[in-house]
Structure 1
Amino acid sequence: MDSAPRRRSARPFAALRPADVPVALVTGATSGIGLEFARALAADGYHLVLVARTLPRLEETADLLEDEFGVPVRVLSADLASEQGIATVVAFIGHERVDVVVNNAGYGLPYSALRSDPAELAALDRVLNVAVQQISWHAAQRMLERGRGGIITVSSMAALTTMGAYAAAKSAAMVFTENLAGELAGTPVTATAVLPGYVHTEFHDRMRVDMSKLPSVAWVDARTVAREGLADARAGKAVSVPGLQYKIAYLIAQTAPRPLIRGVSSGFRAVRMTRRSRRRPS
């Protein structure tokens, strides 16, 4: 259930910070890449607004970050798979100052597009694509009014492939963010699409995919993704690709023929489906 933002203090949030202390809003902030973005921003003195579906986990994460970094943290329970959830975040951005938005919320489906229910495909697209566009549009408008701000969208290297609905939604979010970066050029507001490769998070476990046989060179840790993503965003880059191995892969993908991309994607998709764990979800 979506809810109004909860305060971590009895005092109004605005009273907890001087006017020049920046505020960052992070979606999907309770684990993985989102949590590392929140940690990196808190370490830089940002006051935080954490967005996710599960309120108890949000509260727990907020407590941990407040204890570790000593910055005020608010939580906003919103299911971005619903129009109401997206509207909850948009309304917050419309009423409160947010200097940095990190669009990170996301998940994958355990089955191929044809084996997934159309309602599941629609919900996935709302989280990975529609929410990104709506939140980014409203954030950009407010940031331009105030004369500063940054929007970071966590896309994926999958956006360069043809591996199903996840890749399609991530590609749309990436292209939208790149376009936004172009439209914002010459202003004090930036937009950056971050393209992680394989990252040790809960992502694959939730899809019940066994990735234990993937070579260690393929992995990038979530902290590296957040650190490099923030550095590239502050440098005004439209696209950030964390990890040397993925920087090379990104450059290759820019010149590879599309039929080759489709062929490689089909191979990866087949391997992934054979690695689906037989464990029942917990």
Structure 2
Amino acid sequence: MTTALITGATAGIGAAFARRLAARGHHLVLAARDTDRLWREATDLHDRHGVEADVITADLATDEGIAAVEERLGDRARPIDLLVNNAGFGNKGRYLEVPVADELTMLKVHCEAVLRLTSAATAAMRERGRGGVVNVASVAAFFPRGTYGASKAWVTQFTQGAARDLAGEGVRLMALCPGFVRTEFHERAGMDAGNIPTWMWLDADQVVETALRDLARGKVLSVPDPRYKALLGASRLIPRGVLARASSTTGRKYGPK
């Protein structure tokens, strides 16, 4: 039986990964900030599926939190076979409306933590000749708007580049780029999600099922829905200036209120 480590594991896409992997018989290491919630989820998954479920209380906005997860990923005696870098958040407000300290915290979680944890995981995986990493990005990575989209663009580009560098080493890397998913994300960021059209919403469990299927197929980029694939295809035909204006307008309409 293999072991998967999931960051941001107590809600949304991270919790969906935990449920799906536990149902498939994978042991789990769940990482998040809320210790009580972590243990509740770990206990439930153990009782439902009979898998081992350990927890790491870690705030990936801090060096100490990142280091705690790095240490577990580097433990050769207890190998991690799949890393899911899912932890993330959104800031309420447009550029210059958000304090720089909050923007830097986002970059710490979305970029530095992803880099360090991916590096720790893949170094150990390459030694064994097997393993996988899913870095959760967003379709926002493909649209020029704000620090959130920029950070997810970094995740996407980094993952694709690292996947090429590790080709043939037995380690798979994939960037997962979903659209709007029904999770706690928007509520935590203080965003009014009521304006988002129904057709744009995705189910977290279906996103995860598609992601795991794409990872097994060796895909480096997963956009888990035909609607968003069509949207991204259309965006490549639109001039960047027009796309930037449209993205900004859409963000004001469907983003933070």
TM-score, L = length of structure 2 = 0.96
Q: Out of 187, 191, 201, which is 1:205 matched to?
A: 187
CA distance in 1, matches of 2:47, 2:99: 42
- Measure how far apart 1:272 and its partner are: 3.4
- Are the counterparts in 1 of residues 195 and 253 from structure 2 also a CA contact under 8 Å? no
Q: Work out whether 1:66 is the aligned partner of 2:46.
A: yes
Q: In 2, Cα distance between the equivalents of 1:251 and 1:181?
A: 22
Gaps of 5+ in 2: none
Per the alignment, residue 23 of structure 2 pairs with: 43
Report the 3-state secondary structure (helix = DSSP H, G, I; strand = E; otherwise coil) of the residue aligned with 2:74. Answer: helix
Contact 2:88 2:110 in 1 (8 A): yes
CA shift digits 1:117-156 (9 cap, x unpaired): 1111111111111111110011111100011000001100
Q: Distance in 1 between matches of 2:238 and 2:209?
A: 29
Per-residue CA deviations over 1:214-250 (Å, capped at 9, x if unaligned) read: 2211111000110001110111101000111011112
Alignment check: 8 A CA contact 2:195 2:254 kept: no
Provide the rounded CA distance (Å) in 1 between the counterparts of 2:94 and 2:197.
24
Q: Which whole-Å CA distance do the structure 1 matches of 2:31 and 2:43 have between them?
A: 14
Q: CA deviation at 1:257?
A: 2.3
- Inter-partner Cα distance in structure 2 for 1:187 and 1:92: 22
| Cα separation, 2, equivalents of 1:250 and 1:42 | 32
Describe the superposition over 1:9-50 as per-residue Cα deviations: whole angstroms up to 9, x where unpaired: xxxxxxxxxxxx210000000011001111111111110000
* Corresponding residue to 1:242 among 205, 220, 224: 224
| 2:3 maps to 1:23 | yes
Q: Does 1:56 align with 2:36?
A: yes
Q: Equivalent residue for 1:124?
A: 106
RMSD: 1.2
Alpha-carbon deviations, 1:193-223, whole Å to 9, x = none?
0001011000111122222232211111000
1:271 aligns with 2:256: no
Q: Matched residues in 1 for 2:229 and 2:129: separation? A: 32
Question: What residue is the counterpart of 2:178 in the other structure?
Answer: 196
- How many residue pairs get aligned? The number is 255
* Partners of 2:22 and 2:28 within 8 A in 1: yes
Contact 1:102–1:152, Cα closer than 8 Å, also in 2: yes
CA distance in structure 2 between the aligned counterparts of 1:73 and 1:175, rounded to whole angstroms:
31
Letter in 2 for 1:46: H
Residue matched to 1:18:
none
Q: Does 1:154 align with 2:136?
A: yes
1:108 paired to 2:87: no
Tell me, in whole angstroms, the C-alpha distance in 1 between the residues paired with 2:111 and 2:214: 22
The answer as to whether partners of 2:145 and 2:247 remain within 8 angstroms in 1 is yes
Alpha-carbon offset, residue 266 of structure 1: 1.1
> How far has the Cα of 1:188 moved from its partner?
1.2
The residue type equivalent to 1:32 in the other structure is G
| Structure 1 equivalent of residue 115 of structure 2 | 133
Under a length normalisation based on structure 1, what TM-score does the superposition of the two structures give? 0.88
Tell me, what secondary structure is at the counterpart of 1:191?
Answer: strand
Three-state SS of the structure 1 residue aligned to 2:134 is strand
Query: How far apart, in 1, do the equivalents of 2:233 and 2:116 lie?
Result: 29
Q: Which amino acid aligns with 2:61?
A: A
In the alignment, what sits opposite 1:280? Answer: none
Counterparts of 2:252 and 2:204 in 1: how far apart (Å)? 26
Asked if the contact 1:157/1:196 (under 8 Å) is kept, the reply is yes
C-alpha distance in 1 between matches for 2:236 and 2:71: 38
Distance (whole Å) between structure 2 residues aligned to residue 163 and residue 108 of structure 1: 13
Secondary structure at the counterpart of residue 59 of structure 2 = coil
Mapped pair 1:174 → 2:151 = no
Instruction: Give the percent of matched residue pairs that are identical in Structure 1 and Structure 2.
Output: 40
* Structure 1 residue 67: Cα displacement: 1.4
Within 1, Cα distance between the matches of 2:101 and 2:196?
31
Q: Distance in 2 between matches of 1:113 and 1:97?
A: 41
Q: Which amino acid aligns with 1:62?
A: A
Distance 2:238 2:214 in 1: 25
